Structure 1
Amino acid sequence: MRNPSTTLLTLLLAILISACATLPDNSDRAESYHLGETHETSLAKSVAPRLAQHPGESGAYPMESGLDAFVARALTAHSAEKTLDVQYYLYHDDKIGSLLTDQLLKAADRGVRVRLLLDDMDLADRDFGGSIIDAHPNIELRIFNPFSRNTFRATQFVTRFGGVTRRMHNKTYIVDNSIAIVGGRNIGDEYFDASKEYTFSDLDVILIGPAVSKVSESFDLYWNNSLSYPLATLNKNKPKPSAIAERRAEFSRYIESLQGSEYIQALKDSALATTIRNNSLSYFWGDVDIVYDHPDKIIKSRSETKYHLSSDLADYFGKVKKELILISPYFVPGKSGVSFLSELVAKGLSVSVITNSLSANDVPAVHAGYMKYRKKLLQNGVNIYEFKTYNKAEAGEAQLYGDLLSGLHAKSFVLDREYVFIGSMNLDPRSAKENTEIGAMIQSEALADLFYSSIIDELDERTYKVYLEGGKLHWKTLEEEGERVFTKEPNTTWWQRFSVGAMRIIPAESQL
């Protein structure tokens, strides 16, 4: 048996080594910017007639389907002629990650400039694979707020707490500065209906028009920031040409092996694919305000709110007159949030929150943070709906892989049935003060009406209506047999309820 003192000494030594973790000098990184003159590209020409019919406005097309969301990315990448700018928090090494990487490589092979900006949270032990991609002359991979490569990653969460614990949560995808996609999806199987075990109910929006340049400007700001490190600066072990050729060949064989799969066939059969090719997407038109955190939010004091997009959102929330619907998978309002929402109700506004139930939440600690405020919100008149662990097959939705369970991951707000926000921001302390976020505030009554109708149509079956009776929490929902009421967190075990309840006493709300 290992001596406990030896184990402790080893741990302390690891922490001491990590305390000395340093990053290489990043001052010689080259700046680059989006190309403004891309009006001669095929994508620009395809959207130009639509834009001419709506001068000064942007078009927005929301995507709930994971299949559609990947089709949109793949087809626009396939059409890219000048630039592809891609920015994500998580970029998994799985089927979807590989398929998207394949599109980026093929675009680069055609001469397209590809800028790939990834947060470092999902990239442990993946520098070699990244270097293979980065070795392409038309691709540059940068890592935002990287962990030190010369010491243990795990211990840096302690020794660099407040540094590496603050992350770039943005999700943007921009093709030829003509079409952009923003929303809640990371790159991974579970976000695009490609997982055989679990899928997220998520939301993206395709944008055309003036809003696209605003998304590009946000990308440039992050790309050229001192926190964005070229992978070549972090990883000095350049792969040999033979290794690059071998890995590309291996990668090509893997991509080829997927071509006969159900998922690839579903992508090919997608109605959206035909719609995009025919340039017949039914856009919603209006003013689109792109709001985002400044990348320096990561290194500035949390009190310096001039770097926060929450200031921009506050302007919109402050103008709400009748109704506010908030959709957030992770909802921890804090005392200030409870006060703000309660004040709106006191003024006669209808306020509704849709978030994950305990059984649907993939981050139990966040649910523990939310539980502390649930009763107070209900007492003050806020409507709360909790998303079920949703079995899509049982609900009659077409599924590739049978009984898939789904949890909420979309982040969206509907204001007075006039504005719709779609983005990466959760309503929790982490999004508000720790991480960086981006989103589109779309002024379109037609889109807001569509969202409102679809939400109302699905509330009874897809969510639990939470209410108080006799001072105790109850959950009401509609099932095949009729209305059902729960007096405990629905579809959970006693251990889940106990463990999440115990988490409430941990003083870590700022990290939720």
Structure 2
Amino acid sequence: MRLIRNFVTVVVVITIAIVGLKLAFPLPEKNFSEQTLKKDADWTGPLGETIQIAIERNPGLDGVRPLGNGRAAFAARAILVREARSSIDAQYYIWQDDVTGLMLLDELRAAAERGVRVRLLVDDNGISGMDDLLAELNALPNAHVRIFNPFTLRNPKLLSYAFDFNRLNRRMHNKSMTVDGVATIVGGRNIGDIYFDYGAGTHYLDVDTIAIGPIVDEVSQSFDAYWNSASSYDAALFLEPSSEKSLQLKADAAPKTAVGAGYQKAIQYSELADRIAAHNLKFEWSEVTLFVDDPAKGLGEANSEDLIVEQLIKFANGSRTSLDLVSAYFIPGQRGAEVLEGLAEAGVKVRVLTNSLDATDVMPVHAAYMGYRDDLLNSGVELLELRALRQEHRERSLPEMLAGSASGLHAKVFGSDEERIFVGSYNLDPRSARLNTEMGLLIESPTIAASLAQELDRPEFSYRVELNEDGEMIWLQEEQDGTITVHAADPETSGLQRALTAVVRWLPVEWML
């Protein structure tokens, strides 16, 4: 009886504590002081003039320029911000307090100080250590910062999950930056050194694309919907005004580091800047469609038929000859597995590239994926798992980036029939499907889609997972010279690592991964 009483007492105390925290740290009654909307496209500056010339030569089409190389992706953002004349709208899941994060945040500061309206929407789960810097930016007359699904308890933030889990478990995973209403960057990259692939240490393979044309206005309208949504709050409601002016000081120091100097050179010698100045931007011209979740998904209130997952299932089911999927975190779920297995059994060449156990940065995701491998392989789906190549790489093209990483895969790129390709933030997992908001661009481009297919044909950056004659799983490691090594267990992993993964596989957490 004493044990039962003690248990009940503990439960009551915890319940009272949770209720007390919820009452002590409520959401503000009002999200923001006023709604704001996108500005009209500004064609007056060098960027606008150059893009307008290109669009007039390709009426009705959208121009895309893939960004596979990390330094080029960083430089593109910095250059577009520097070219901005009237507006910058950016939304990101993660913005890190590191070299590239500081440099790009300072570019936004400089733009705001020269009169550009800056709107920055960030997810509160991805701005650890950034409160003071974001408050400093937000204090500028032309800069406005909003936070998506904010943590009302700022320190320790994670304690907020105890009393507001259902809301805080839903995050804004979107990534876009739109300048002057004439150019946008959409894809899988967050803002931080690990996403821009340079210097020593761990990197992510990632992909995004610059886009111009009618699609830019659609991205701007989507940004407005998120900016003015019920999940977005003025940063000033949560961030204390910063008495220190540290942003510019920290940003000035960043390029002087060894890593920062490399990023500074990437801006200085960027082909993009030269082509803007010469009014000679090069793009792949095609039809582009924006896939984006209703921001109401951030509160669990979006209609199921309006979710990206439904659009991507239609995209996959439309494949006639081939479907190539590159996803850092791959948990197809029952419905997704049925789609892929059905396509493979119908004769469509289905290939999936995801992280190997050694390369992944989220082991529980890999553990959940393991439960689908046998059935996928038996149906004819080809599984490729990226090797964790940790040595520093030379500069890489988009196709090479898709197939080779300095550490782990982070890209989300899907190609169909070597004719269409989706580049975005969407992982093939339950979290992207039902919990996080996502976005991406569907590009009708045989050139870009075929480059993905051709790169997946190259064996040297991944393991091919197969079942041997006894039905046992094996990993084939093929080198450029044709040498093949057969592994009987997840390559480059220890027995303990594999055992822990097997244990996690049986935990009932797949729905939130």
TM-score, length-scaled by structure 1: 0.91
**Mapping of residues 451-462 of structure 1, within 5 Å:** 451-456=452-457, 459-462=458-461
Residue 296 in structure 1 maps to residue 299 in structure 2: no
Partner residue, 2:435: 434
Once residues 267 and 252 of structure 2 are traced to their aligned partners in structure 1, the CA distance between those partners, rounded to angstroms, is 19
Counterpart secondary structure, 1:264: helix
Counterpart secondary structure, 2:407: strand
Long gaps (5+) in structure 1: 399-403
Partner residue, 1:132: 136
Partner residue, 2:231: 227
| C-alpha contact 1:296 1:307 (8 A) present in aligned 2 | no
| C-alpha contact 1:67 1:270 (8 A) present in aligned 2 | no
Please list the CA deviations of residues 247-271 of structure 1 after superposition, one character each: whole Å capped at 9, or x if unmatched: 3563354246349834423443344
Once residues 42 and 14 of structure 2 are traced to their aligned partners in structure 1, the CA distance between those partners, rounded to angstroms, is 54
Please list the CA deviations of residues 292-335 of structure 1 after superposition, one character each: whole Å capped at 9, or x if unmatched: 00110121258x31341122223322322111111100000011
Partner residue, 2:484: 483
Residue 411 in structure 1 maps to residue 412 in structure 2: yes
| C-alpha contact 1:18 1:152 (8 A) present in aligned 2 | no
| C-alpha contact 1:90 1:186 (8 A) present in aligned 2 | yes
Once residues 115 and 54 of structure 2 are traced to their aligned partners in structure 1, the CA distance between those partners, rounded to angstroms, is 28
Once residues 249 and 151 of structure 1 are traced to their aligned partners in structure 2, the CA distance between those partners, rounded to angstroms, is 25
Partner residue, 1:370: 369
Once residues 337 and 47 of structure 2 are traced to their aligned partners in structure 1, the CA distance between those partners, rounded to angstroms, is 45
Once residues 198 and 396 of structure 1 are traced to their aligned partners in structure 2, the CA distance between those partners, rounded to angstroms, is 15
Aligned residues with identical type, % of pairs: 36
Partner residue, 1:120: 124
Partner residue, 1:385: 384
Counterpart secondary structure, 1:22: coil
Once residues 268 and 31 of structure 2 are traced to their aligned partners in structure 1, the CA distance between those partners, rounded to angstroms, is 45
The structural deviation recorded for 1:176 is 0.4
CA distance 1:447–1:262, change in 2 (3 Å): closer
Please list the CA deviations of residues 74-96 of structure 1 after superposition, one character each: whole Å capped at 9, or x if unmatched: 11111000000110000001111
Residue 18 in structure 1 maps to residue 21 in structure 2: yes
Partner residue, 2:202: 198
Partner residue, 1:401: none
Counterpart secondary structure, 1:160: helix
| C-alpha contact 2:62 2:215 (8 A) present in aligned 1 | yes
Counterpart secondary structure, 2:158: helix
Once residues 373 and 33 of structure 2 are traced to their aligned partners in structure 1, the CA distance between those partners, rounded to angstroms, is 47
The match for 2:177 among 173, 196, 207 is: 173
The structural deviation recorded for 1:11 is 7.0
Once residues 84 and 507 of structure 1 are traced to their aligned partners in structure 2, the CA distance between those partners, rounded to angstroms, is 42
Partner residue, 1:268: 268
Once residues 189 and 367 of structure 2 are traced to their aligned partners in structure 1, the CA distance between those partners, rounded to angstroms, is 24
Counterpart secondary structure, 2:352: strand
The structural deviation recorded for 1:383 is 0.6
Counterpart secondary structure, 1:182: strand
Once residues 102 and 372 of structure 1 are traced to their aligned partners in structure 2, the CA distance between those partners, rounded to angstroms, is 45
Please list the CA deviations of residues 454-479 of structure 1 after superposition, one character each: whole Å capped at 9, or x if unmatched: 332xx310110100001111111223
CA distance 1:471–1:277, change in 2 (3 Å): farther
The match for 1:238 among 232, 236, 241 is: 241
CA distance 1:45–1:372, change in 2 (3 Å): same
| C-alpha contact 1:26 1:226 (8 A) present in aligned 2 | no
The structural deviation recorded for 1:47 is 1.0
Partner residue, 1:445: 446
| C-alpha contact 2:317 2:339 (8 A) present in aligned 1 | no
| C-alpha contact 2:71 2:196 (8 A) present in aligned 1 | yes
| C-alpha contact 1:211 1:290 (8 A) present in aligned 2 | yes
Once residues 258 and 107 of structure 1 are traced to their aligned partners in structure 2, the CA distance between those partners, rounded to angstroms, is 23
| C-alpha contact 1:173 1:181 (8 A) present in aligned 2 | yes
Once residues 372 and 252 of structure 1 are traced to their aligned partners in structure 2, the CA distance between those partners, rounded to angstroms, is 45
The match for 2:221 among 210, 217, 223 is: 217
Partner residue, 1:45: 49
Once residues 71 and 396 of structure 1 are traced to their aligned partners in structure 2, the CA distance between those partners, rounded to angstroms, is 17
CA distance 1:345–1:25, change in 2 (3 Å): same
The structural deviation recorded for 1:161 is 1.9
Once residues 255 and 378 of structure 2 are traced to their aligned partners in structure 1, the CA distance between those partners, rounded to angstroms, is 57
> Which amino acid counterpart does residue 450 of structure 2 have in structure 1?
D
Once residues 208 and 460 of structure 1 are traced to their aligned partners in structure 2, the CA distance between those partners, rounded to angstroms, is 34
CA distance 1:331–1:261, change in 2 (3 Å): same
Once residues 406 and 129 of structure 2 are traced to their aligned partners in structure 1, the CA distance between those partners, rounded to angstroms, is 30
Once residues 125 and 324 of structure 1 are traced to their aligned partners in structure 2, the CA distance between those partners, rounded to angstroms, is 40
Counterpart secondary structure, 1:390: coil
Once residues 135 and 448 of structure 1 are traced to their aligned partners in structure 2, the CA distance between those partners, rounded to angstroms, is 44
Counterpart secondary structure, 2:246: helix
| C-alpha contact 2:122 2:148 (8 A) present in aligned 1 | yes
Residue 278 in structure 1 maps to residue 289 in structure 2: no
Residue 162 in structure 1 maps to residue 186 in structure 2: no
Partner residue, 1:332: 331
| C-alpha contact 2:358 2:492 (8 A) present in aligned 1 | yes
> Which amino acid counterpart does residue 114 of structure 1 have in structure 2?
V
Counterpart secondary structure, 1:342: helix
Residue 352 in structure 1 maps to residue 351 in structure 2: yes
Once residues 53 and 19 of structure 2 are traced to their aligned partners in structure 1, the CA distance between those partners, rounded to angstroms, is 62
CA distance 1:479–1:27, change in 2 (3 Å): closer
Tell me the matched-pair count.
495
Once residues 390 and 157 of structure 2 are traced to their aligned partners in structure 1, the CA distance between those partners, rounded to angstroms, is 37
Counterpart secondary structure, 1:18: helix
Partner residue, 2:101: 97
The match for 1:77 among 73, 81, 90 is: 81
Counterpart secondary structure, 2:414: strand
The structural deviation recorded for 1:134 is 0.5
| C-alpha contact 1:18 1:151 (8 A) present in aligned 2 | no
Long gaps (5+) in structure 2: 1-5, 397-404
The structural deviation recorded for 1:348 is 1.4
Partner residue, 2:402: none
CA distance 1:268–1:321, change in 2 (3 Å): same
Partner residue, 2:148: 144
CA distance 1:279–1:204, change in 2 (3 Å): farther
CA distance 1:475–1:248, change in 2 (3 Å): closer
> Which amino acid counterpart does residue 81 of structure 1 have in structure 2?
R
| C-alpha contact 2:460 2:480 (8 A) present in aligned 1 | no
Once residues 283 and 125 of structure 1 are traced to their aligned partners in structure 2, the CA distance between those partners, rounded to angstroms, is 38
CA distance 1:480–1:54, change in 2 (3 Å): closer
> Which amino acid counterpart does residue 17 of structure 1 have in structure 2?
G
CA distance 1:211–1:261, change in 2 (3 Å): same
The structural deviation recorded for 1:151 is 7.1
Please list the CA deviations of residues 206-229 of structure 1 after superposition, one character each: whole Å capped at 9, or x if unmatched: 101011111111100000112110
